[in-house]
Each structure stands twice: as structure tokens, then as C-alpha cells.
């Protein structure tokens, strides 16, 4: 095991949270190490929809939103009980972008701000001295810092290793998502279907590149049949939308 130099901050996980915090802290002059277990570009199951507040965060990070690859939306369309309601964002627009692209852009922005990014580097345990977190261990090295930030996602193994547990009073959601070639790829609204099943919803988000991101989310039960829910919902949608196995791209 090698020992890395002492850092100001270690950020575990280069998802949007980790890369954003690494970018801001590096920009303010701190020595930041960003550790990511996978390598970019990498997939992440997501709707790929960004609200205006997220768009504003991207601007603050200095991401070039005029570059190709971003697809704007002007609001959301809610569908339930045979009715539809379109709500436009007030004086702003949202965006869609695949997480494969978005997360890499954000990680590279953190690097441009001065953070050191190590991909393919899985944090295996926290280092602790007298009850205080002083760093982390990876498979091959130890890293110490004044501050360690666990940005390792919803299941945050690092937090669990430190004794934190998810709140029993908060439900866990699970989801399934696919991409389809579809003529609806350039819809101006993010579409959300609210009555697929109790405590479940579906979404159709145009990516502007010939494809739609389509998925369902539901609260976890003992037998969460999210695949069945997605398949059954898709069979009820107009064939002209093209959300069929033949057009599935991912």
C-alpha cells in the first residue's frame, strides 16, 4: 500500500455532487483529490432531465451550455386520468443530456479547476483517528486529508461504513429506464405520467438526438416488478411513438 500526499479535501465519487463540490473547492484554491471507482464516460440510470435550477448550477460551474449536445425543454407535461397539464418553467429553460456525457463534463470541469481526478479508484474504507475521519483507503493506497466528502451516491457505502443508516421512515424508490429511437425525441416538454400504478410514475424525456429516455419509478415493495410495469405501460402507448423493442437502443 502506498501513501499519497496529504490533501486539503478528498471527495469520494465523481457524480454531479462530487464533481461540483470538487470544482468549487479547487477553484477556491484548495488541494482536492476526487476519487471515482469507474471511468468516464460511464452510464448512470437516470431520466437525464435537468430543471432550470440545475441549469443555473451548470452555469455557475462554468459549463459551456452553447456547445453541441444540450437539448432545451420549456417545462413539464403532467398526464393522469386522461388529462394533461402543461406547466412552463418560469422565465427559464431546462435541458436534457445523457449522464454518460454530463458526468464526464462535470468531472473534467473539476480537473480544469485544479482538482486531481483518479478514475478506476474504488474507496474501500474510511481512515479514522480518535473517532475522526482523516482519510480513505483504496485497493492500493491510503489518502489523508483535512476533510473527506462522501459523494458516493444514494447507497453511500462510505457513510454506511461510518455507522450512518438510511432513515427507516423514508421510502426507497427503484426505477427502470430505457432509450428508444422515437419521433418524440424533440418534444418541448418533459412528460410525466402520474397514474401508472399506486405510488409509481413514468416519464418520456426527449433527448433531441433522435432518442427518448423512457422509464418508470416506484416505491420499493417486496417484489418490485418495475420491468413488468414499464413493459405494460409501453404497450398502452401509441405505436407511432415508436417505443418498441425494435427501436430500443439501450
Per-residue mark of binding to ligand FAD, 209-228 (x: CB under 6 A): ------x-x-----------
- Does 206 contact ligand FAD by CB under 6 A? no
Residue 158 near residue 165 (C-beta atoms within 8 A): no
Smaller CB separation from ligand FAD, 53 or 130: 53
- Does 11 contact ligand FAD by CB under 6 A? no
Give the CA radius of gyration of the chain.
Answer: 20
Q: Is 143 exposed, middle or buried (0-12, 13-18, 19+ CB in 10 A)?
A: buried
- Does 199 contact ligand FAD by CB under 6 A? no
Considering only residues 9, 11, 16, 185, which one is a binding residue for ligand FAD as defined by CB under 6 A?
16
What's phi and psi for 218, nearest 5 deg?
A: -150, 160
Our CA dihedral for 142, 143, 145, 150, rounded to 10 degrees, sits at -100
Task: Tell me how many degrees the CA angle 17-219-16 measures, rounded to the nearest 5.
Answer: 10
Smaller CB separation from ligand FAD, 15 or 75: 15
Smaller CB separation from ligand FAD, 48 or 242: 48
- Does 97 contact ligand FAD by CB under 6 A? no
Q: CB of 46: closest distance to ligand FAD in angstroms? A: 4
* Region of residue 27 (left: phi > 0; alpha: psi -120 to 50; beta: else): alpha
Grid cell for residue 224: 418490485
Smaller CB separation from ligand FAD, 27 or 44: 44
Our CA dihedral for 90, 92, 96, 102, rounded to 10 degrees, sits at -130
Q: CB of 33: closest distance to ligand FAD in angstroms? A: 11
Residue 245 near residue 223 (C-beta atoms within 8 A): no
- Does 202 contact ligand FAD by CB under 6 A? no
Q: Which stretch binds ligand FAD (CB under 6 A): 38-46, 84-92, 108-116, 240-248?
A: 38-46
- Looking at residues 129 to 158 of the shown chain, list those that interact with ligand FAD (rule: CB under 6 A): 151-153, 157
Q: Which stretch binds ligand FAD (CB under 6 A): 31-39, 61-69, 75-83, 239-247?
A: 31-39
Q: Do strands 75-80 and 94-96 pair parallel, antiparallel, or not at all (unpaired)?
A: unpaired
Residues that bind ligand FAD (CB under 6 A): 12-18, 35-38, 44-50, 54, 122-123, 151-153, 157, 175, 177, 215, 217
Amino acid at each position: 500500500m502506498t501513501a499519497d500526499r496529504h490533501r486539503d479535501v478528498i471527495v469520494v465519487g465523481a457524480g454531479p455532487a462530487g464533481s461540483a463540490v470538487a470544482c468549487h473547492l479547487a477553484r477556491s484554491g484548495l488541494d482536492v483529490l476526487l476519487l471515482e471507482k469507474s471511468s468516464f464516460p460511464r452510464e448512470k440510470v437516470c431520466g437525464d432531465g435537468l430543471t432550470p435550477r440545475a441549469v443555473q448550477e451548470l452555469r455557475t460551474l462554468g459549463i459551456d451550455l452553447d456547445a453541441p449536445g444540450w437539448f432545451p425543454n420549456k417545462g413539464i407535461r403532467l398526464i393522469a386520468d386522461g388529462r394533461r397539464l402543461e406547466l412552463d418553467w418560469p422565465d427559464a429553460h431546462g435541458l436534457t443530456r445523457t449522464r454518460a456525457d454530463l458526468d464526464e463534463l462535470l468531472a473534467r470541469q473539476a480537473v480544469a479547476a485544479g482538482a486531481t481526478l483518479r478514475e478506476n479508484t474504488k474507496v474501500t474504507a474510511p481512515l479514522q483517528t480518535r473517532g475522526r475521519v482523516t482519510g480513505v483507503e483504496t485497493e492500493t493506497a491510503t489518502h489523508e486529508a483535512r476533510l473527506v466528502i462522501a459523494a458516493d451516491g444514494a447507497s453511500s457505502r462510505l457513510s454506511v461504513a461510518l455507522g450512518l443508516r438510511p432513515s427507516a421512515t423514508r421510502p426507497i424508490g427503484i426505477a427502470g429506464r430505457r432509450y428508444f429511437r422515437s419521433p418524440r425525441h424533440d418534444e418541448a416538454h418533459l412528460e410525466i405520467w402520474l397514474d401508472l400504478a399506486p405510488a409509481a410514475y413514468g416519464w418520456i424525456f426527449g433527448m433531441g438526438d433522435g432518442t427518448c429516455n423512457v422509464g418508470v419509478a416506484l416505491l420499493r415493495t417486496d417484489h418490485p416488478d418495475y420491468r413488468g410495469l414499464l413493459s405494460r405501460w409501453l404497450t398502452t402507448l401509441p405505436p407511432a411513438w415508436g417505443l418498441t423493442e425494435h427501436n430500443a437502443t439501450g
